[in-house]
Structure 1
Amino acid sequence: MTDTSSFSTLTSKLPPQASPDESTSLLRKPPSVMTDTEEPWYRQWLSEIWLLTRASIPVILAYTLQNSLQTVSVLIVGRLSPEALATAAFSYMFAMATAWLVALGGTTALDTLASSSFTGSQNKHDLGILLQRGIIILSAFYAIIAVLWWFSEPIFRAMGQEEFICVESAKFLRILIPGGLGYVWFETMKKYLQAQEIHRPGTYVLLITSPLSALLNYLLIHKAGMGLYGAPLATGIAYWCSFLLLAAYATFVQGKACWGGLDLRRACAHIWPFARLALLGFIHVGTEWWAFEIVALAAGRLGTISLAAQSVIMTADQIINTIPFGLGVAASARLGNLLGAKRARDAERAAHCAAILSAILGALILTVLMSTKDVFGRIFNDDERVVELVSEVMPYVALFQIADGLNGSCGGALRGMGRQWVGALVNLISYYGGALPAGIYLAFHGWGLAGLWIGQCVALYLVGALEWVIVGSSNWEKEVKRALDRLEDGGMGAHVEDAVGEV
């Protein structure tokens, strides 16, 4: 029988002047998941939009800086020779389409589970177990990719690449294998902190390691005489420095409270629910990224000018895409927190506020792109034919920014709800079932590069609209129950009601 001292210990975790009942959580909730029912509805919506804005800004900046590590590396390598430039660009592209998906797609399992655990679990140290579980499972996934990289030379030949690309990219990726694991662990640690509503440290760390990466690339490539192969070594060191600095931040500044110590036995138990969500997240994010890579390969068959214009547009789009993707990550963590706190109505409002905010940001980007379409290409290339083609295609790129925003925010909402499979299915149907075949057909039947982007535009509007309808028609009370069930399936302890009842 439980004595009074244990009951006092339990109730000390609750907010002041609160007494436990059948609906009381055992963990104190962060201020952002407490409900102010006296506020008018419009103030609640505006407050939610502002909260999502503040949460997403550091996430967006962090992803922008992360992309800059590779971009700067390619620029520094490019001074060696055109072949070195092509090898580095192709290698990083292949890394993004494979291993980086483990980091950015696989860690969406933490968007779902860690954020719900932070507000819904009776033991705050469950979040530390999820961090350990994530590192173990995602490292295993990465090991599979590492084997693929090691034996990538014949794969590149099968893809029809130039012989120097086949040989040198394979060596490039082998050197990058150790550093790629640092990328995966860094992204996992970021999600651990974001689940606790700690969003800024990733940006702080990358403000240090981004210039460090540029310096290391310059020194190893040009001063140490390593040439092309100094780039993957420098980038890998920067990734590991990023992880170690972020771990140090969590240890000494903010984020340690949910750690609880190393417990590999618990971390290695109940791995299937996490692995399943990670795999579905990989497919969800990957189906969109792979579609854009297919467009890039198709553009290469349209001629040199089309390929150059496509490179300009894709480089710009990769930078712009950090905005909807970052907002989606913030929305995932926010919804997970609210579902774990059993605030179904607030979670529904947060999902719609994220969609509205993404549409607003998309409209702003659309305006900027349309107003600069005639000169945009000159930022990258002075060839009048390239500039003119970029201007011709840019309206389609600008038009899908609203849809891309909805895709990012609603996709993030689905990941926060643990429904990665829905986003993956929508992507497969929209991109591969219709838009890609139609775009490729148009491209080679008189429309050229514009035809490819018309296909992408159609796909993104299909994805954005379908995902918003799916999110909007969700039963949020059921989503709360599913969030708590996922915690139980992952060995995160009994429901709050059960625990209170035992006391």
Structure 2
Amino acid sequence: MGSRKAIDNSGQETPEPPPARSRSSCGFEASHELEKVLSDTEKPYLSRLRQASWIELKLLFRLAAPAVMVYLINNSMSMSTRMFAGQLGNLELAAASLGNQGIQLFAYGLMLGMGSAVETLCGQAYGARRYDMLGVYLQRSAVVLLITGLPVTLLYISSKSILILLGESKSMASAAALFVYGLIPQIFAYAINFPIQKFLQAQSIVAPSAYISLGTLFLHVFLCWVVVYKIGLGLIGASLVLSLSWWIIVAAQFVYIVVSDKCKATWTGFSWEAFSGLWEFVKLSAASAVMLCLETWYFQILVLLAGLLPNPELALDSLSVCMAVNGLMFMVSVGFNAAASVRVGNELGAGNPKSAAFSVFMVNLVSFIIAIVEAMIVLSLRHVISYAFTSGEVVANAVSDLCPYLAVTLILNGVQPVLSGVAVGCGWQAFVAYVNVGCYYVVGIPLGCVLGFKYNLGAKGIWSGMIGGTMMQTLILLWFTFRTDWNKEVEKARKRLEEWDDVKQPLLQ
């Protein structure tokens, strides 16, 4: 389908504005007001800061609150699946955790990372009010991710051999592979869900996804109970229900896009243009994927290394509980990651450098404060957290010993993912990928292996090294963000949109 166009007074074609959307209009007006307040040097500094903070907090929480809810609920589906598996026995808990953290997170990181390319483009295009470009970006991203899902499927099919090759026991690898086989349909749900999610977030449409995810969570828990306990399908049944739940979310969100008036200007139907410019999109998606995959796989490697320790079942059980809690709390940061990406992308696309810089400051401050609170709660509940997953006292003691490391990780997660969201909003994925390689894989993992195996510190040593890598990466991103020239970033955003518009535009003639 062709894009909706209008002719302005100068004879130029401009994208037709969306139908009346008071919320979006208010968002653009608030964004313009924020830039005006920050630029008004006649007002006292504290007065400008107070007024700007109030404007930014309203914009931020309107995005972050539903986004946090979406990611928390989606993570809760995965965590509840592991809980059902854990009630079958310690082997089943370890197998589900190994399959989830060791194999499934590979696909999650890859697909979410590649989906971040559409987040950069849609966020900046929406800020520049080039609404017709968003639907094509969504479809182009879905095509690229669906094709990527094919080799990932082969990885899932080979998961048993891979885990044995990595040193896991045959019984553990067999049980984990059984769980992974049921997650194969989930790969392709990811391939469609993440572009849809970023498409909606770029337009500040987040609440519908939250309601859809919440309804699906209740259905998921019920179906897990029926399939695992009543029908008795065990691990494979639990993972198949998880795959089905993700497809329900995808279908419901797509129906919303098609029928909602809020997406009429940005979704004009399926188009053959989605199959054009794929190679350019693959290159941008690859940079995004490398950036996020290196982060996602980092703690995935922690779980795999734990499987090589003496008494691997206890190490995996205790780590899986801590990683489940970390994953749940991490979703709060990911929600702010999404909000940061949208806010920065929109402001750069709209040509508001001061607003973009101020948004970066506010979103990091709020996320960091929340992370401190999370860490305090975890430490206060360190002796009882594990009983939500398994009734074993030995596991509970091991989890209690690891909780201080979990608390430090949560505090770092209050800043690091948000800075990654800023990077996506600005299009810095390639730079962050290099930083991640150095900090995580040159420093963090080798240091963790030395502490864990050579000095016999076990899971604590592995985790300590990886915390060091995360801290190093966070400090580098903080320094780079602090030194950013936001006027130059506005100009880069304008050039990027022109470049991508050229890829698409000849097909409309």
TM (norm. structure 1) is: 0.86
Kept in 1: contact 2:298–2:440 (CA 8 A): yes
Asked if 1:236 is matched to 2:246, the reply is no
Q: Distance in 2 between matches of 1:493 and 1:290?
A: 33
Asked if 1:466 is matched to 2:476, the reply is yes
Q: 1:130 Cα deviation (Å)? A: 0.5
Kept in 2: contact 1:101–1:286 (CA 8 A): yes
Which AA in structure 2 matches 1:357? V
The corresponding residue for 2:417 is 408
Kept in 2: contact 1:355–1:468 (CA 8 A): no
The corresponding residue for 1:18 is none
Match 2:463 to one of 449, 453, 475: 453
SS for the counterpart of 1:321 is: helix
- The verdict on how the C-alpha distance between 1:45 and 1:397 changes in structure 2, with shifts beyond 3 A counting, is same
Q: Distance in 1 between matches of 2:259 and 2:16?
A: 25
The corresponding residue for 2:41 is none
Q: Distance in 1 between matches of 2:354 and 2:282?
A: 29
For residues 253-294 of structure 1, what are the alpha-carbon distances to aligned partners after superposition, in whole Å with 9 as ceiling and x for unaligned? 332321122212x22222234322322222222212222122
Match 2:346 to one of 306, 314, 337: 337
Which AA in structure 1 matches 2:495? D
Q: 1:212 Cα deviation (Å)? A: 1.5
The corresponding residue for 2:109 is 101
- The verdict on how the C-alpha distance between 1:306 and 1:146 changes in structure 2, with shifts beyond 3 A counting, is closer
Kept in 2: contact 1:312–1:380 (CA 8 A): yes
For residues 7-32 of structure 1, what are the alpha-carbon distances to aligned partners after superposition, in whole Å with 9 as ceiling and x for unaligned? 599698599xxxxxxxxxxx997334
1:23-42 correspondence to structure 2 within 5 Å: 30-36=28-34, 37-38=36-37, 40-42=47-49
Match 2:337 to one of 324, 328, 343: 328
Q: Which runs of 5 or more residues in structure 1 are unaligned?
A: 16-26, 496-503
1:369-408 correspondence to structure 2 within 5 Å: 369-377=378-386, 380=389, 386-408=395-417
Asked if 1:425 is matched to 2:434, the reply is yes
Q: Distance in 2 between matches of 1:282 and 1:9?
A: 34
Kept in 2: contact 1:29–1:119 (CA 8 A): no
Q: 1:109 Cα deviation (Å)? A: 0.8
- The verdict on how the C-alpha distance between 1:111 and 1:159 changes in structure 2, with shifts beyond 3 A counting, is same
Which AA in structure 1 matches 2:342? A
TM (norm. structure 2) is: 0.85
Kept in 2: contact 1:334–1:350 (CA 8 A): yes
Q: Distance in 2 between matches of 1:152 and 1:193?
A: 34
Q: Distance in 1 between matches of 2:8 and 2:318?
A: 72
Q: Distance in 1 between matches of 2:181 and 2:120?
A: 32
Kept in 1: contact 2:27–2:59 (CA 8 A): no
SS for the counterpart of 2:414 is: helix
Kept in 2: contact 1:221–1:231 (CA 8 A): yes
Q: Distance in 2 between matches of 1:333 and 1:478?
A: 18
Q: Distance in 2 between matches of 1:80 and 1:383?
A: 13
The corresponding residue for 1:201 is 208
Match 1:349 to one of 339, 353, 358: 358
For residues 231-257 of structure 1, what are the alpha-carbon distances to aligned partners after superposition, in whole Å with 9 as ceiling and x for unaligned? 333222211111111111222233232
- The verdict on how the C-alpha distance between 1:164 and 1:118 changes in structure 2, with shifts beyond 3 A counting, is same
Kept in 2: contact 1:369–1:394 (CA 8 A): yes
Q: 1:85 Cα deviation (Å)? A: 4.2
Match 1:271 to one of 261, 266, 278: 278
Asked if 1:262 is matched to 2:270, the reply is yes
- The verdict on how the C-alpha distance between 1:14 and 1:290 changes in structure 2, with shifts beyond 3 A counting, is closer
Q: Distance in 2 between matches of 1:454 and 1:433?
A: 15
The corresponding residue for 1:288 is 295
Q: 1:159 Cα deviation (Å)? A: 1.9
Q: 1:164 Cα deviation (Å)? A: 4.1
1:1-80 correspondence to structure 2 within 5 Å: 7=11, 30-36=28-34, 37-38=36-37, 40-42=47-49, 43-80=51-88
- The verdict on how the C-alpha distance between 1:425 and 1:4 changes in structure 2, with shifts beyond 3 A counting, is closer
Kept in 2: contact 1:112–1:418 (CA 8 A): yes
1:158-237 correspondence to structure 2 within 5 Å: 158-167=165-174, 169-170=176-177, 172-224=179-231, 226-237=233-244
Kept in 1: contact 2:102–2:303 (CA 8 A): no
- The verdict on how the C-alpha distance between 1:73 and 1:382 changes in structure 2, with shifts beyond 3 A counting, is closer
* Identity among equivalent pairs (%): 26
Provide the aligned C-alpha RMSD in A.
Answer: 3.2
Which AA in structure 2 matches 1:415? V
- The verdict on how the C-alpha distance between 1:276 and 1:193 changes in structure 2, with shifts beyond 3 A counting, is same
What is the total number of aligned residue pairs between the two structures? 482
1:307-322 correspondence to structure 2 within 5 Å: 307-322=316-331
SS for the counterpart of 1:312 is: helix
Q: 1:222 Cα deviation (Å)? A: 4.0
Kept in 1: contact 2:110–2:293 (CA 8 A): no
Q: Distance in 2 between matches of 1:421 and 1:248?
A: 34
Which AA in structure 2 matches 1:62? V
Kept in 1: contact 2:227–2:237 (CA 8 A): yes
- The verdict on how the C-alpha distance between 1:381 and 1:199 changes in structure 2, with shifts beyond 3 A counting, is same
Which AA in structure 2 matches 1:328? N
Kept in 2: contact 1:488–1:494 (CA 8 A): no
Which AA in structure 2 matches 1:67? N
SS for the counterpart of 2:318 is: helix
Kept in 2: contact 1:205–1:245 (CA 8 A): yes
Q: 1:63 Cα deviation (Å)? A: 1.0
Kept in 1: contact 2:294–2:437 (CA 8 A): yes
Q: 1:47 Cα deviation (Å)? A: 2.5
SS for the counterpart of 2:183 is: helix
SS for the counterpart of 2:61 is: helix
Kept in 1: contact 2:17–2:131 (CA 8 A): no
Q: Distance in 2 between matches of 1:139 and 1:451?
A: 39
Q: Distance in 1 between matches of 2:222 and 2:113?
A: 29
Q: Distance in 2 between matches of 1:373 and 1:221?
A: 29
The corresponding residue for 2:163 is 156
